[in-house]
Structures are given as C-alpha cells and as structure tokens.
A and B are shown apart, each in its own frame.
Chain A
Amino acid sequence: MTGSRSSSGVRIRQGFFSRTLPFWLLLPTLIVLAAVQFYPAFYSIFLSTQEFQAGNMKYVGLRNYERVFSTSTFSDSLFITFAFLAGYATLTLVSSFVVALFLNRKLRLSSLYLTVIFIPWVLSDVIVGLVFRLFVVPDYGLLSSFFADPALFGPPNGVSILTTPPPPQVVPGIPLPPAPALIYLIFASAWKAVPFTTVLILAALQTVPREILESASIDGASAFNSFRFITFPLVLPTMVVALFNLTLGGVNGVGMVFSLTNGGPGTATEVLSFLLYTIGFGRLEFGRAAALSVFMAVINLALILFTLRLSRTGRA
C-alpha cells in the first residue's frame, strides 16, 4: 500500500508518512473491523464445532449442525420465516410503490408529506412492536374487540390476536397457514419499512425522463400503458434492490418479535432470528446457536452479494 501518486497523477510531497498515507488512514478501520467483524465471524465457526459442558468446551465436529437442522423447531421456524418474509416484502413493496406514485407529483406540500411518512423509519423496532402490542392487549386494547371478532378472524380464543392459536395445518408438519399474530407482526413490520422503501422507489421514479412520458402521451399512450411500458420497467431494478434490502432486514430483525409477540403464541412467531436467541440465551446451548448463526450468516452473505450484482448491472 504505497500510493505515492494521487490518482490523477500529480506528484505530491514525498515524506514516508505522506507516501503511506492511505495505509495510515485505513489502519484503524481495519483493526476495528478485524476485531469486531472478522474475528467473531470465524470464532462463530469455531464455536459451532464445540459442545459446552459445565463451562468447558469439547470438540464435537458437525454434531451441532446435525442437531439443529434435524429438529422440527428449526424446520417450523424456517417456514415461519419464509411466510413472514413473503408477506412482509409483498405488502411493503406494493404499498410503498403506491405511496411513491402519489408523492411523485409536484405539489406544494410534497416535502411535508414525505417527512410525515418517514417518521416510522426513525422509530426503534422495540418501540414499534410495543406500540402495536398496546393496541391489542386483552380486554383493554383499542383494537382488541375488532381483532377478537370471530367473523373476521376465524374461531379465536376471544382474548387477543396475540394469543389466538394458529389455524389447523393444511399439510401436516408445515406451520401454514400462519397464526393471526404473525400476520399482525407482518403489518407492524411493514408499517416501519414502508418509509425507506418509498424513498428508494421515489428516487427511481424521479429519474424517469419526462420527455419520454410526454412523447408517449403525444403518441396517444394511455396513462396505464405509459406506466406499464415506461415507468415500471425503469423502476424495476430499484424494486429488486429494495426487495433484497427488505429481505435482509426481515431475516435479521428481532427487536419487534421481542416486544410484540415474544415468539408466541407457542412458537407461532418464532422466526429464525428469534430462534437463534432462544437457543443461545434462553437454553444456553451456545454451540448449537453458533451453528445456526453460521447458517444465517451464509444466507445473509449470499443475499448481499446477489444484491450487489444486481445493483451493478442495474446501473450499467
């Protein structure tokens, strides 16, 4: 790392410190990232091969992986996570797109609307979960009676949407259709995610060239057709980036599950991230939790590399 030239080729003064400036600038960052990101990542892999017994560690090879992946808790949790992600991403993308289309007009108050719509984004997961929980607490919640209506939400237990057990499984062994609590969790998560996605889509909408839309309307294209054939294809790459951002956030978000449902009723809202917590800190099985976290890190890395690939090609 001896960059002695600035990139456009002008010679700069040549002290030792100046010649190696990029190295010194990067050193603290590299140290911090090595200590807090790289080392723990590899340490997780090490821990995942260990069994914790009375404060001692014992090498057990891949047994932890075997034990985690073979349990029905894990497969249930996987299905719950998929159901959650599917609902969350679809709901967020569709509603964000609608909001962004409305915001993409030159109105005097546009920036005010954008600011108001953006407020949920600055709130913490834990707060959002707790707020949505307050509305459906048994008996006293403002929305409790609405969600306890048997006509709307199947045969509930009449207490709260958060305690209503999931409907009978269509395919035995697969926890679908999801419990009402999971659907409520999806709505709460989407409420928090809509602002960010809206801003992304809005930014993309504003890059659609006006001239093309105008020439299309002169050529007699209907509003729907110019949306279908011009606006939508141009915004699609951003939608895909937003989709992956949402998936990443959804896989790793755990605060809202904590404060809204705490995994319940039963294990009906135990998404993978919450399962990781339960295994690691609820049951103190660190080896198995490490195995699960290695699995989740791999999923995350795959997702982010895929997103990068996409956003690169989208730009070129």
Chain B
Amino acid sequence: MQVTGTSGRPAPLPRSARYYRVRKVLQPWFYNSALIFICVLMLLPVLGTLNISFRRQVDVQRKPPVLFPCDTPERSFDIRACRFVLEGYERIIGPKPNPNALFGVELAGRMISTYLPNTLLYALGASVIVTTLAGMAGYAFSRYHFRLRRTLMVAILAITGIPLLTNLIALYQMGVTLRKAFPGYEERIFLIFVYVGFFLPFSIWIVKSFFDTIPRELEEASFIDGCTPFESLWRIVTPLATPGLASAFLLSFVGVWNEFIAGYLLVSKNTLKTAMFGLYDFIGQFVIGYQVLAAACILIALPVVILFLFTRQVFFRAMVEGALKG
C-alpha cells in the first residue's frame, strides 16, 4: 500500500522490522561513541597539560619532543619506564621545612603564599557583596512597582554591555587620584568594589528571574500573619531563593577568580596581586621550565574546576536563565 504524505509526495517505503531493530541497537552506540570522541577532544588540552606538568626538566627539553616520557633505549613506549615526577609542582609550592609552621612545612612559593590567598580574598569578598546586593535589588525589581523601575532595569541591563576593559583607563586614573588624596587608601577594597560593580548587573538579572518564580501568595500569607516586608523577605523568600543566590555567588566567584586585567593593573603592590598575574609573571620567569608553568596552570584551575563539578546544575540553570531571558 502506498502511503502519501501531506506534501503530496510519496512517503519512503516502509522498512522491515529488522531494520528498526538493528537501528535501535546501533543508534545509541553511534551517539555514545561520537560523544566520547567529542569529550576526549575537549579534554585533550587539559590532558596534555597534565602530561607536561608531571615531567622532569630533561624530558621537557627533549628534541624532538616525545609524546610520553616513557621510552627506553630498546622500546619507544614502555609503561614501566615512565618517568613522571612532581618536580613542577614542588617548584610552584616551594615546600620548606619550618618547625614553627603547621605540619612542620612552610609553603614558600609565591603562588601559594601570596597570589592564591589574594585571589581567594578578592573572589570571596566580591561575590559575598555581589550576592547580598543582587538579592536586595533583585527582590525590589521582582516584587515592587515603583517609579523608574523599568528605566532602572534597562539601565542595569545596558551596563552589562560596558566591559571592565573600557572602564579600565578611568578606573586606573581614579585609583591614582585616590592614592594621592587619602594616605590610608586601600587598593584591595578598591579592587573588590570594581569587581562588585562589574559582576553585579548580571547577577541582579539572574536573581530577579529566580524571585519571579516564587509565588507571591507565600509572602501575602506571611503579611496576613503579621510579617513586615523585611521579615517576609528574610524568613520566607530568601530560603526559597537560595538556588538563585547561589548561582549569582558561584558565577561571580569564578568570574573574579579568572579575571586578569583589572587585578593586574589596578593593584600596584606585587604582594597584593592575583594568581592570574602570578601566572603571567611566570611566563617570563620560567622561560624553559614548561613543566612548572603547566603545574601552575593545573594548580590555579583546580579549585574552580572542583567547585564547578560539585555545583554544575546551578551553573547550567543560571547560565540559560541569564542568557536567554535577559
């Protein structure tokens, strides 16, 4: 029997049941292997860096380079002869015996003792402030209709279009002026506020869209039960909005952690600079210590990668909300 589609053209001949059975078995295999291939492709740079980071200096400087430092005079690859060491990591961390320090070891490397703590401080400080302010502003935008509401919302959205980069010259000059004007001027606070201003607009939008999904009836019930708006915000809405606040926090945290140019230019003292600056500085310092550079990359990236692996659902949701509903 000839089946005719709505387009008027004859539909393809019905296929045998066996065709569909085979397809049902083979199709997932096809998709799985394609996706595994894509995953490996995406991970190749990471795996390559890991591979470099565990090499010895002599193996990094082989000419021509070897794919794995596992060759012996007889064979080109022998798994028992692999020479992977921790030298690169040791040179970054710089462990030094020190009886006064915790566990009797002091971590003397600049990256561990200075740059990473700075980055952690800026990232935590900025994202705590961003989350608090975004929660307050997002709630106001989501729940109240006041004069200028639309104007302010559009203005805040438009600000997301002004990148940190184009404000940098002005911010740098502001820093110079402030330093001259106030002897007790603190660069770290200035930098944290720059980060807050930079990550706040986007966070407000994410948090607002989360507040929008919380039914108003809950708050109205709490008003009837005698809550003030502030109590209702704190006791009823905030716990429900935790996923939204968490995503604002995480996105800002990762954003500040990975930021380079402001942390590099707006801070003048080297002891207050960030891990990304440290890494950039290392490029000049370890000219041929490629395993050291690779180890530094891995060490700095590890915290945010682990953070992401544990909280990935929050990231995905926030991202789609933020980008599509803006």
Q: Is the CB of A252 within 8 A of B163?
A: yes
Q: Give which listed residue, B147, B309, B323, contacts A200 with CB less than 8 A.
A: B323
Determine if A2 is an interface residue (Cβ-Cβ < 8 Å).
Answer: yes
Q: State how many angstroms separate the Cβ of B86 from the closest Cβ of chain A.
A: 18
Determine the residue in chain B with the shortest Cβ distance to A132: B45
Q: Give which listed residue, B34, B260, B315, B323, contacts A245 with CB less than 8 A.
A: B323
Mask, A300-316, CB within 8 Å of B = 1, is: 11011101100100010
Q: Is the CB of A301 within 8 A of B42?
A: no
Instruction: Please give 14 more A-B residue pairs, beta carbons under 8 A apart, in addition to A37-B162, A107-B31.
Output: A5-B145, A22-B143, A30-B152, A33-B156, A117-B39, A119-B46, A119-B305, A120-B45, A127-B258, A134-B290, A200-B319, A259-B279, A289-B169, A315-B325
Stretch at the interface among B95-103, B109-117, B195-203, B240-248: B195-203
Q: Is the CB of B140 within 8 A of A22?
A: yes
Q: State how many angstroms separate the Cβ of A15 from the closest Cβ of chain B.
A: 7
Determine if B236 is an interface residue (Cβ-Cβ < 8 Å).
Answer: no
A-B contact pairs, 19 of them (CB 8 A): A5-B145, A7-B216, A22-B146, A35-B193, A44-B170, A47-B173, A113-B35, A118-B316, A124-B276, A126-B258, A127-B279, A141-B65, A199-B319, A255-B260, A258-B260, A259-B283, A300-B162, A300-B163, A311-B325
Complex CA gap A23/B280 in Å reads 43
Using a CB-CB cutoff of 8 Å, which residues 286-306 of chain A contact chain B?
286, 289-290, 293-294, 296-297, 300-301, 303-305
B-chain residues with CB within 8 Å of residue A281 when the two chains form the complex: 172, 265
Complex CA gap A36/B191 in Å reads 10
Q: Is the CB of A8 within 8 A of B216?
A: yes
Determine if A10 is an interface residue (Cβ-Cβ < 8 Å).
Answer: yes
Complex CA gap A64/B309 in Å reads 48
Determine if A137 is an interface residue (Cβ-Cβ < 8 Å).
Answer: yes
Complex CA gap A220/B307 in Å reads 47
Size of the chain A interface, CB-CB below 8 angstroms: 111
Q: State how many angstroms separate the Cβ of A94 from the closest Cβ of chain B.
A: 13
Determine if B230 is an interface residue (Cβ-Cβ < 8 Å).
Answer: yes
Stretch at the interface among A97-105, A153-161, A170-178: A97-105
Contacts A36-B196, A304-B161 known; A13 to B148 CB distance under 8 Å? no
